[in-house]
């Protein structure tokens, strides 16, 4: 079955076609990053208006680049939570309208469940190799999730303050680097010395929770105290190293505690080269299998929503057209 996946929860308008939850036929992502860059962050109302402009051409491109017609599509999956309400509404109302016109079932997908399925799109054999430990690192969320089965998730740890992506974005703003901050810091870090400045690492005792506000404050204080003492490349590399170390060390402890033999790292920050490298080293030492999707599947995209929607449809059916959108909802409650 071919599922059309729609994603409009933040600043990416995306439409994708995925067959049987595993084979990507097309995955079109229209990013609004340039539009929001001049404000240094996402302006919700601006994002919603842009989604309205982009959603139909993006769907059209997903269909035409895969040479697929409406009669070949079996269902529509759409992100309905969590996210910016106005932005979510664009995807959800479009999905409902198409469902009515073409008499298709529609599945409401939790955005984080979509990120989990970006790992299964990358390594389909995982879909019967549970449990998996998944680190979701995005702009709004950082969490460790034990995926026990399709639709069965346990939250192992989460951030107590900023998300990892937020730490990158806010840190970049302090260093006067362009939005989104993660890619800017990642690029500069390649030319910097990660040992130049030792930024503090915060660990939350025996829990698997994270905290990134301390490292951000340490960067702010460093820039205030010694504004010209380090090159921006060294600052970026040292700051990135502190965030990566916290993610890798806590994830390693969670692997030991849960006994999971497969680790997946998903979400926008999983595109970070240094994080990918350090996770690779850590899992190689411990003999754990590591799955990190291609960078295009790490950041928000419709393919992961289509894949999550397909499995949800197979296991629990579609949603009545009256389903709502929600700014927040825990993944464990899906």
Binding site for ligand KG4 (CB under 6 A): 10, 138-140, 165, 168-169, 180-183, 186, 267-269, 271-272, 299-300
10 versus 194: smaller Cβ distance to Zn ion: 10
- Of 133, 137, 157, the C-alpha closest to 146 is 133
Stretch that binds Zn ion, among 77-85, 130-138, 170-178, 319-327 (CB under 5 A): 130-138
Q: Which is nearer to ligand KG4, 32 or 318 (CB)?
A: 32
Number of H helices, E strands in the chain: 11, 10
Q: Which CB atom, from 192 or from 268, has the smaller least distance to ligand KG4? A: 268
How far is 275 from 292, CA to CA, in rounded Å? 10
| Strands laid side by side in the 152-158 sheet | 152-158, 142-149, 132-137, 262-266, 289-291
Residue 318 interacting partner from Zn ion, ligand KG4, none (CB closer than 5 to 8 Å by kind): none
CB 3, min distance to ligand KG4, A: 20
Measured from the CB atom, the residue of 13 and 138 that comes closer to Zn ion is: 138
Spell out a b/e string for 57-91, using b for 16 or more CB atoms within 10 Å of the CB, else e: ebbeebbeebebeeeebebbbbbbbbbbbbbbbbb
Tell whether residue 162 is a contact of Zn ion (CB under 5 A): no
Is residue 145 within a helix (H) or strand (E), and if so which, with residue range? Answer: strand 142-149
Does 138 contact Zn ion by CB under 5 A?
yes
Question: From CA 169, how far away is CA 308, in angstroms rounded?
Answer: 28
Closer residue to Zn ion, CB minimum distance, 101 or 328: 328
Distance CA 226, CA 107 (A): 53
Smallest separation, CB 179 to Zn ion (Å)? 16
User: What x/- string results for residues 28 through 67 when contact with Zn ion is judged by CB under 5 A?
Assistant: ----------------------------------------
Residue 48 to residue 95: CA distance in whole angstroms: 15
Closest separation between CB of residue 9 and Zn ion, Å?
7
Tell me the number of residues near Zn ion by CB under 5 A.
2
**Three-state secondary-structure class, residue 6:** strand
Distances (CA, A) of 310 to 109, 114, 208, 228, 306: 10, 11, 31, 53, 6
Instruction: Verify binding: residue 14, Zn ion, rule CB under 5 A.
Output: no
Q: Which partner from the list Zn ion, ligand KG4, none does 183 bind, CB cut-off 5 to 8 Å by kind?
A: ligand KG4
Buried b (16+ CB within 10 A) or exposed e, 284-323: eeeebebbbbeeebbbbbbbbbbbbbbbbbeeeebbeeeb
CA dist., res. 66 & res. 194, Å (int): 43
| Contacted by 182, from Zn ion, ligand KG4, none: CB < 5 to 8 Å by type | ligand KG4
Tell which positions 272-311 bind Zn ion, by CB under 5 A. 300
| Nearest to Zn ion of 142, 209 (CB atom) | 142
Give the SS3 label for residue 195: coil
Q: Which is nearer to ligand KG4, 255 or 271 (CB)?
A: 271
Min dist. Cβ of residue 139 to Zn ion (A): 7
Give min distance, CB of 168 to ligand KG4, in A.
5
Contact residues for Zn ion, defined by CB under 5 A: 138, 300
């Amino acid at each position: 079955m071919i599922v059309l996946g729609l994603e409009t929860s933040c600043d990416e308008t995306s439409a994708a076609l995925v067959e049987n939850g595993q084979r990507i036929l097309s995955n079109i992502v229209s990013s609004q990053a340039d539009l929001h860059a001049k404000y240094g962050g996402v302006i919700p109302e601006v994002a919603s208006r842009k989604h309205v402009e982009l959603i139909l051409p993006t769907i059209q491109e997903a269909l035409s680049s895969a040479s697929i017609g409406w009669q070949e599509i079996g269902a529509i999956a759409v992100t309905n939570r969590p996210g910016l309400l106005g932005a979510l509404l664009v995807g959800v109302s479009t999905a409902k309208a198409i469902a009515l016109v073409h008499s298709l079932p529609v599945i409401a997908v939790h955005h984080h469940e979509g990120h989990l399925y970006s790992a299964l799109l990358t390594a389909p054999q995982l879909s019967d190799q549970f449990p998996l430990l998944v680190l979701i690192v995005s702009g709004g969320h950082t969490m460790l999730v034990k995926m026990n089965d399709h639709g069965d998730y346990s939250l192992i740890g989460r951030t107590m303050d900023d998300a990892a992506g937020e730490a990158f974005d806010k840190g970049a703003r302090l260093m006067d680097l362009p939005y989104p901050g993660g890619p800017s810091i990642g690029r500069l870090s390649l030319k910097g010395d990660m040992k130049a400045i030792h930024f503090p690492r915060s660990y939350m005792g025996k829990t698997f929770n994270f905290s990134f506000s301390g490292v951000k404050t340490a960067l702010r204080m460093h820039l205030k105290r010694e504004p010209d003492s380090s090159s921006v490349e060294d600052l970026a590399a040292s700051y990135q190293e502190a965030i990566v170390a916290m993610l890798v060390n806590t994830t390693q402890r969670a692997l030991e505690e849960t006994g999971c033999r497969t680790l997946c790292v998903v979400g926008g920050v999983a595109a970070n080269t240094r994080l990918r490298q350090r996770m690779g080293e850590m899992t190689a030492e411990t003999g754990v299998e590591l799955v990190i999707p291609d960078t295009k599947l790490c950041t928000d995209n419709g393919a992961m929503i289509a894949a999550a929607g397909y499995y949800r449809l197979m296991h629990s059916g579609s949603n009545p057209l009256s389903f709502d959108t929600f700014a927040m909802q825990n993944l464990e409650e899906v």
